[in-house]
Amino acid sequence: MIRLFYFFLLLMPGLVIPEISAAQPSKAVQWTFTSQKITDQLYEVRMDAKVNGNWHIYSQDGGEGPFSTTFIFTQNPLLNMDGKVQEIGTLKKVFEEAFGSEVRYYERSVSFVQKVKLRGKAKTNLAGKVEYMVCNDKQCLPPAEVSFSVNVGG
């Protein structure tokens, strides 16, 4: 509920709209998606975010207020998720007055890693989307979404 309040607060006329129209999340973050075979049926899928300029991207547990990074995977009967998505990077914990709470984010780069187990020897893919938000010390861009599909197996 508090996230929606802050999101709509950012969209109020005169506050941030002129700045939002000049910047786009796709230029603030570039995503790459790869997979690596660990064992015969275990793969590691990496979802790497390169964060440009002075922007930062929020952790999957970004804190109260910001829109946390979220991965939504398309169900695939040939794959099982092996644990949760792990984060690899330098996590910053900072109190942000705009949100009135401690937030957790990454600058420059972060890798999100999901291990998957194949149920057979077939070639398939892990597909889904990542939802995220970026901010800097002056503004936040609206949440963005990127779809992906990564080959595994075979």
> Does pLDDT of 16 surpass 50?
no
pLDDT in tens, 17-42: 334 434 556 689 999 999 999 998 99
pLDDT in tens, 101-125: 999 999 999 999 999 999 988 899 9
pLDDT in tens, 71-107: 999 999 999 999 999 999 999 999 988 888 999 999 9
C-alpha atoms less than 13 angstroms from C-alpha of 18 in its C-beta half-sphere: 2
Domains in the chain with CATH codes: 2-146 (2.60.40.1250)
